[in-house]
Structure 1
Amino acid sequence: MHFTVTSRGDDVSDALKKDITSSLEEHGLTEDADQPDIVISVGGDGTLLEAFHSYHGRLDDTCFVGIHTGHLGFYADWQPEEVEKLVIHIAKTPFQVVEYPLLEVVVRHYDSDDTDRYLALNECTVKTLEGSLVCDIDIKGEPFETFRGDGLCISTPSGSTAYNKALGGGILHPSLPSMQLTEMASINNRVYRTIGSPLILPQHHTCLLNPLNDVEMQITVDHMSMVDRSIKSIQCRVAEENVRFARFRPFPFWKRVKESFIGEGE
């Protein structure tokens, strides 16, 4: 098996990366940063997001597993003191592959016939650098509403616990092939009206955003950000690709939600 280890870059994470690499090589595995079968991310959810985008071109062949050196994450679910156990699992145990849906984002421009396609593990956000965002929203090719407000967040189920939750969106189980559209401070009065509630769209339902005001748009895809004034449309749907996680033990999603947001209690 070929593997690679990514690190957040702090001393603790770098030391763990070095230990994991040497231990796996002692077990006969081969370090291969170009074509890994498994990517071991040491840091937090942000580190795993970066690893995902580094290998988004080989999602059918690469699995991810995360070790957190900070707070418990939704993607990084192993602790530093469990590294020896994880190494033995990777070297000796056939692992279960768990697949979660991704978000496909296609951006079209006024000044070019080319399109930009991105995959998001967490979410895509659309805002402006000046004033409110004004855009028509089509769902399944039909006009739905004209949005006016601070912005929009389109999230994956696994990303529903991130920015989407902070905006008042619902938490979805990551196995559901869907996406969620959540508003940021929409303007609602006698003249302007939006649905005002998060929308959960199933697979094969496309959401198309058509900006109406001539302002600089800021689009984020996970941790990546871009600014452009010539954006014609932003199309979002559940991607055909999935992200694959190597699961060596049960870690129920709702238990993870409870530990992250509620705690164990007294």
Structure 2
Amino acid sequence: MRNNVFLYHRNVNDFTKEVKKLIEIGEKYGFNVVNRPEDANIIVAIGGDGAFLQAVRYTGFRQDAIYVGFGRGLNEFYCDFDIHKLDEVDRLFSDNSARIEAGLEVRKYPLLSASINESTPMLCLNEASIKSSIIKSLAIEVYIDDLHFETFRGDGMVVSTPTGSTAYNKSLDGAIVDPLIPCMQVSEIASVNNNRYRTLGSSFIVHDSRKLSLRIVEDGNDYPIIGMDNEALSLKYTDRIDIELSDQVIKTVKLKNNSFWHKVQRSFF
């Protein structure tokens, strides 16, 4: 299985020329392109962060494979390589000094484990979210471990990983968290604060040893939208979501001189 590569790209027609060139470069250096992800030990996502998230989910969050992301330029968080600059990739393989200069390394990103209605847990790389599906606020009892922390009412809540802190979480004024910190962050979506409902009113971060439980208060809004990264789940009924940081990780090839904080600086300043 060594050096077997599976290519994942959503919009085939957008990258026909680039994919062909990428395959040629790979074959030149002894990589084999396979048609099934289970036959690969390297999974390449082409198209940007959205494609990377879908590739990881489509291939089952493989623990025995390395993920590589190719985006459109450098304004991506999971993709360190530009699909339109494949000559630079060719140079990395052909020139040892170029590899040393680039500082290629394997980094590990944490995953969330989310169980809906006490079912088999599902994994997320960015975030798990719960939102009202109707024009009515959603009431959620929030438990941290066994502590009833608060009763939330509003449009929903988002629980993110450190790498997911720059995505949906940031649009909710959540903090950006260094991926080296093993934790998860909880952010509110349009909370209601009055004499009956009182929430923290800000995002909060919990240690990786903690377990969160979001329990739906049955008041006619029992069919919320559950999001796992960039995909929505179709469920008839949701009673609770139990979330914790998984002991599994995603391994990805990164450039040492293009750190998480380089990307934050480039994307938001």
Specify which of 29, 36, 40 is matched with residue 27 of structure 1: 29
Whole-angstrom distance in 2 between the partners of 1:186 and 1:248: 39
Specify which of 75, 87, 101 is matched with residue 72 of structure 1: 75
Residue 59 of structure 2 corresponds to residue 52 of structure 1: no
| TM-score w.r.t. length of structure 2 | 0.88
Aligned partners of 1:216 and 1:227 also within 8 Å? no
Other-structure match for 2:199: 194
Other-structure match for 1:104: 113
Relative to its length, the structure with more strand (as a share) is 1
Q: How many residues align?
A: 256
Amino acid at match of 1:233: R
Percent same amino acid among aligned pairs? 30
Q: CA RMSD in A?
A: 2.0
Other-structure match for 1:243: 250
Residues 230 and 129 (structure 1 numbering): CA distance in 2 closer, same or farther, change over 3 Å? same
Whole-angstrom distance in 1 between the partners of 2:108 and 2:229: 18
Residues 37 and 177 (structure 1 numbering): CA distance in 2 closer, same or farther, change over 3 Å? same
Amino acid at match of 1:98: R
| TM-score w.r.t. length of structure 1 | 0.89
The alpha carbon displacement at 1:70 in A equals: 5.8
Whole-angstrom distance in 1 between the partners of 2:252 and 2:108: 6
Aligned partners of 1:211 and 1:232 also within 8 Å? yes
Aligned partners of 1:5 and 1:21 also within 8 Å? no
Whole-angstrom distance in 1 between the partners of 2:250 and 2:257: 18
Aligned partners of 2:56 and 2:62 also within 8 Å? no
The alpha carbon displacement at 1:229 in A equals: 4.1
Answer with 195-204 or 242-251: which moved more. 242-251
Aligned partners of 1:101 and 1:242 also within 8 Å? yes
The alpha carbon displacement at 1:18 in A equals: 1.7
Whole-angstrom distance in 2 between the partners of 1:249 and 1:72: 16
Other-structure match for 2:20: 18
- Residue correspondence of structure 1 range 1-266 to structure 2 within 5 A: 1-9=3-11, 11-32=13-34, 33=36, 34-59=38-63, 61-69=64-72, 72-87=75-90, 89=92, 95-108=104-117, 115-130=119-134, 131-213=136-218, 214=220, 215-262=222-269
Aligned partners of 2:142 and 2:150 also within 8 Å? yes
Aligned partners of 2:80 and 2:254 also within 8 Å? no
Residues 31 and 10 (structure 1 numbering): CA distance in 2 closer, same or farther, change over 3 Å? closer
User: 2:80 is paired with a residue of what secondary structure?
Assistant: strand
Aligned partners of 1:45 and 1:75 also within 8 Å? yes
The alpha carbon displacement at 1:159 in A equals: 0.6
CA offsets 1:154-197 (integer angstroms, 9 cap, x no match): 11100100000001100001221111000001100122100111
- List gaps (5 residues or longer) in structure 1: 110-114
The alpha carbon displacement at 1:88 in A equals: 5.1
- List gaps (5 residues or longer) in structure 2: none
Aligned partners of 2:29 and 2:93 also within 8 Å? no
Whole-angstrom distance in 2 between the partners of 1:89 and 1:36: 21
The alpha carbon displacement at 1:45 in A equals: 0.4
Whole-angstrom distance in 2 between the partners of 1:116 and 1:221: 14
Amino acid at match of 2:171: A
Amino acid at match of 1:80: I
